[in-house]
Amino acid sequence: MPAISSTFDSQEPFLSELLRDIESGKIQLPDFQRPWVWDDVHIRALLASVSLSYPIGAAMLMQTGGDGARFYPRLIEGVELEKPPEPERLVLDGQQRLTSLYGALFCQNSVSTRDEKQKKLDRLYYFDLQKCLDPDADRLEAIISIPADRIIRADFGRKVKLDISSQEKEYEAGLVPANILLGTEFPTWRLGYMQHFQMDVKKINWITRFEQEVWMRLQQFKVPVIQLLRNTPKEAVCQVFEHVNTGGVALTVFELMTATFAADDFQLREDWDSRKEYLHQHDILQDVGGTEFLQAVTLLSSYKRYHAGGSAVSVKRKDVLNLKLDEYKKYAKLIEAGFINAARLLNLEKIFNKPNLPYGTQFVPLAAVCAYIGKNFEKNTVRNKLKKWYWCGVLGEMYGGANESRYAQDIQDLIAWIDGQSNNEPRTIRDATFSPLRLLSLQSRQSAAYKGLMALMIQQGSHDFASGDPIAHTNGFNLPVDIHHIFPRAWAQEQDIERYYWNSIVNKAPLTSRTNRILSGHAPSIYLERIFKRNAVSEEDLEEILATHFIEPENLYEDNFDDFLLNRASELLDVIEIVMGKPVSGRDSEEVQEEFGGVL
């Protein structure tokens, strides 16, 4: 067995050493780190802690070079170098603290920060001599921040409360600049302070005590550092970063890969932005983001390697993180076209926009498969296979959890089935089932199956009760369409019908908001009469319209909810069987008969 070697070591350098390495560019940030965000109060509190030798927590750095992870670096905020060197280490955790300390204690420029109300500020930090030496004073009150011009004004700028715009004025105010305390400037400032007060014994005593009680603490302050060694693999670096990062915002795969590709001088974000602009012209693709795009590229690339006799198909997080730049460049255009064809397929199935999209996750394998089959997508036999797989995924609710394994199995199964390499249907089709009782528990559009059934109603030709227009046509012209109760809620509650029944998808249909106002809580027999009078719809036409919603007209004319529920549920199951290409089992079970009042 190979020897077990550590992936990290620990150190305890002086704070001044770390800040010097930041100043020189030896320590930088990986480009995936988010911007520095600490406000003025946090900075002052941090300075107070350091000046009292209180611990501020460990930092985590990563060595660069070697065969491990490579990320594009950037200088820590406030550092200005004309030609930054290649960094020796990158900051994984501790960015906010190290950036704040560098800006306040080392950088000669003002610190760009914010107040508690997030208003932008430019500040220089000072230690109040007397307050630092007062044992009863709160050290936070001894740390003050001053505008960049070193003048504090009041009364809308008309009055000057404090002016320390020269060194002599700093002496008079007894304020020591924080950004000289870790460099070589403090001894000179100290001498100038004593000379300014003509070697006054009291002043000498103050500055001497400050030197001993504050300056020396800063000089001797050490920061615990955990350092990942340079050969640590990228997925380990990313996992560590997410576990230790105190910013509280999860890092996406896309951000990590942006930093990775940037190390090879490729701007992933710019490339994705141009593709996103094109893809997002289609409403149904609005939620496709950079991470989903990378997953689809990785899935296609992994399948190509597998098909050529390589390793098993995999699209787990580590696989995306290990995607090579040349693979991305090779397959990105194909995946872009794959997403477009995937959107076309769903539009054919009357799924037009993201609010009505059952599963955004199902786009990933669908786009990858469409990218692989290319022009074969135009074959009707191929599209029919894709549709069957799609509806089994939706109505079988197969894409609701962790999906990486299903992505991998579906691309293999689908392509083999489409290309005729296998007569076996994909496992998603074989495993998908739909329970008749699920019709009652589908109560809101949070469920993929709920959205899918609504799309199927539109696909089967649902027409608006009042206008008679196909709902698919109405959708296309952006007229307000939503899902409404057929037996209105108010009426059902008056009849003491359980919510479990009247709020189920069996009692819902896609209708325009104008038609819903006509329904307005009345019994079906009443609102149908209103429709006759207001819209001059004949009884024969109305019955044809109701049939497009799988509704038996007599049940509405007679306000017969029980028979309506039984008949419509049966019709919906017939449609489900057609699109899934398999029977729905249990339609005659005792439990079904008890809930619906008969066999479905």
DSSP 84: P
Q: Is the pLDDT of residue 1 over 70?
A: no
Which pLDDT value is given to residue 265? Answer: 82
Which pLDDT value is given to residue 248? Answer: 47
CA dihedral 339, 342, 348, 354 (to 10 degrees): -60
Structure tokens at 48: 């107070």
CA 264 to chain centre: 25
Interval 474-515: pLDDT, tens: 554 344 567 889 999 999 999 999 999 999 999 998 887 677
Buried b (16+ CB within 10 A) or exposed e, 324-338: eeebbeebbebbbeb
Query: How many CA within 13 A on the CB side of residue 508?
Result: 25
Structure tokens at 218: 């800063």
Q: Which residues pair with 61 in a beta bridge?
A: 91, 227
- Say whether 112 sits in a helix, a strand or coil: strand
Q: What is the residue extent of each domain of the chain?
A: 8-220, 252-431, 438-596
Which pLDDT value is given to residue 244? Answer: 60
Check if the beta carbon of residue 345 is closer than 8 Å to that of residue 383: yes
Structure tokens at 160: 């000057």
- How many residues are given for the chain? 600
**Tokens 């996750």 — which residue?**
361
Cα end-to-end distance, the chain, whole Å: 63
> 508-512 and 73-74: which strand pairing?
unpaired
Q: Is the pLDDT of residue 322 over 80?
A: yes
CA–CA separation, 152 and 28 (whole Å)? 34
CA 429 to chain centre: 30
DSSP 495: T
CA–CA separation, 269 and 333 (whole Å)? 15
**Tokens 């005593």 — which residue?**
205
* DSSP H/E element including 28: strand 27-30
Which pLDDT value is given to residue 3? Answer: 41
Interval 106-159: pLDDT, tens: 999 999 999 888 889 999 999 999 999 999 899 999 999 999 999 998 877 788
Q: Give the other-Cβ count within 10 Å of 32's Cβ.
A: 22
**Tokens 């700093």 — which residue?**
170
Interval 31-66: pLDDT, tens: 877 777 789 999 999 999 999 999 998 888 989 887
Which pLDDT value is given to residue 478? Answer: 47
Check if the beta carbon of residue 179 is closer than 8 Å to that of residue 111: no
DSSP 211: I
Which pLDDT value is given to residue 296? Answer: 97
CA–CA separation, 254 and 277 (whole Å)? 17
Which pLDDT value is given to residue 317? Answer: 87
Which pLDDT value is given to residue 355? Answer: 82
Q: Between vectors from CA 486 to CA 480 and to CA 488, what angle results, nearest 5°? A: 95
Interval 217-227: pLDDT, tens: 999 999 999 88
Position 395, amino acid: L
Work out the mean pLDDT of the chain and round it to a whole number: 89
Q: Is the pLDDT of residue 363 over 50?
A: yes
Q: Which residues pair with 185 in a beta bridge?
A: none
List Cα–Cα distances, 380 to 348, 375, 390, 427, 455, in angstroms. 12, 11, 15, 22, 20
